[in-house]
Amino acid sequence: MQSVSTWRRSPLKAATKGRGVQPRCQRLHVRCNARTGCNLPTKQIGIIGSGSVGSAIASSLIHKNIVKNIYMNDINHEMCRGVVLDLEDEAFITGTHVHHTMAVNELRDCDIIIITAGAKQKPDEPRNNLIERNAIIMKNILVHLLPLKDTCIILLVSNPVDILTNIVQTWCEDFMDRSRIIGSGTYLDTQRLRVALSKELDVSVNSVHAYILGEHGDSQVFARSVSRIGGSPLTNFPEFTQQKLYDVEDEAKGKAYEIIKRIGATSHGIGECVASICESIILDKNEVMSVTSYHPKYQTCIGWPVVIGANGVSRVMPLDLQQDDEDRLLRSVEVIKEISADVVQNINLF
């Protein structure tokens, strides 16, 4: 017969007693439930824009099971409600709840606010052509969204993401620390590059450490001088001729256009990337990710590897770029600076 003391012991303590195992609630920064075990996320995420990208992000977040509530908002309420109903069918097996909100200001208590709303990019349209339309959309969102709680992080996905992140940081400098306003940046581009490099050598993508820097767009830079595969520089691989590296760079840069040409928009890749950024924030994983954030050397927001944790960006990683990479990056930086300055001058937040 089971003793009373054993019967009353919580499943958590019983499972970890004497094993030196850290409780899951401490490892994953979630709320402890002594009866059912530590499996209850507490964070809340708001997603503004419930189109293909917003819904893909929500789907990826649901499968990661790291948030308690996802709040979806869109100017098209009927579509948003339909997306929420569909996501509810996907979320039934996890602890995540998906909700439809009628107003942007209902998201003010969220821990992370993801903004995907914006005009769609047309086939073969440069991302920078979207800037004026999407800057106005961003202004209309922020006017109703601010102020936010001190611990909130804004994650921008709308394009052109580097320029919009720059603009939002400028507009919100009196409301939020810039380390809490980030963009998805070149994170997806970096993953595309790593996949392309891994295919060339038939190695695991996890063994490839390479980055796309600068603009998430036409002036992005493949930082060859700091790229490594299994710790070895690219120059150690005879397969990577100058022409082959240009081909790999073009493949990574042009993949979005190929997807848009065929199905109208990219969604699955960016959905998983944004969910991974959220995971690093929520679980305070301090992962190095090439997102858009303020770089003090270049005095603007660019795609660059930084440490992402519970407080947003905690460190800008140092990279020893060779002169060719640096020159190309400076051209990309100038593109971002020039367009951002024009928009900030022409459009005021209040």
Q: Determine which of 42-46, 118-122, 178-182 has the lowest per-residue pLDDT on average.
A: 118-122
List beta partners, residue 293: 302
Q: What is the pLDDT of residue 218?
A: 85
1 has pLDDT over 50: no
Hey, what domains does the chain have and what are their CATH numbers?
44-185 (3.40.50.720), 187-344 (3.90.110.10)
78 has pLDDT over 60: yes
Mean pLDDT of 237-258: 92
Q: What is the pLDDT of residue 93?
A: 85
Would you place residue 127 in the very low, low, confident or very high pLDDT band (cuts 50, 70, 90)?
A: low
Q: Give the mean pLDDT of the chain.
A: 88
Mean pLDDT of 180-200: 96
Contact 174, 191 (CB under 8 A): no
Would you place residue 98 in the very low, low, confident or very high pLDDT band (cuts 50, 70, 90)?
A: very high
The pTM (predicted TM-score) of the whole model is: 0.87
Contact 210, 218 (CB under 8 A): no
Give the angle subtended at the CA of 71 by the CAs of 266 and 309, to the nearest 5°. 75
327 has pLDDT over 90: yes
Report how far residue 17's alpha carbon sits from residue 74's, in angstroms, rounded to the nearest whole number.
48
Query: End-to-end CA distance of the chain, in Å?
Result: 71
Q: What is the pLDDT of residue 18?
A: 47
Q: Give pLDDT tens digits for 16-34.
A: 444 444 444 444 444 444 4
Burial class (CB in 10 A: 0-12, 13-18, 19+), 200: middle
51 has pLDDT over 80: yes
Residues marked as catalytic: 216
Of 336, 238, 239, 347, the residue nearest 292 (C-alpha): 336
Percent of the chain clearing pLDDT 70 (strictly above): 87
Q: What is the pLDDT of residue 92?
A: 87
Which amino acid is residue 350, in one-letter code? Answer: F
Q: What is the pLDDT of residue 283?
A: 96
**Residue 146 or 12, more confident:** 146
250 has pLDDT over 80: yes
Q: What is the pLDDT of residue 342?
A: 85
Q: What is the pLDDT of residue 39?
A: 53
Q: What is the pLDDT of residue 126?
A: 67
Q: What is the pLDDT of residue 257?
A: 87
Backbone angles phi, psi at 235, to 5 degrees: -65, -15
Q: What is the pLDDT of residue 6?
A: 38
Report how far residue 66's alpha carbon sits from residue 28's, in angstroms, rounded to the nearest whole number.
8
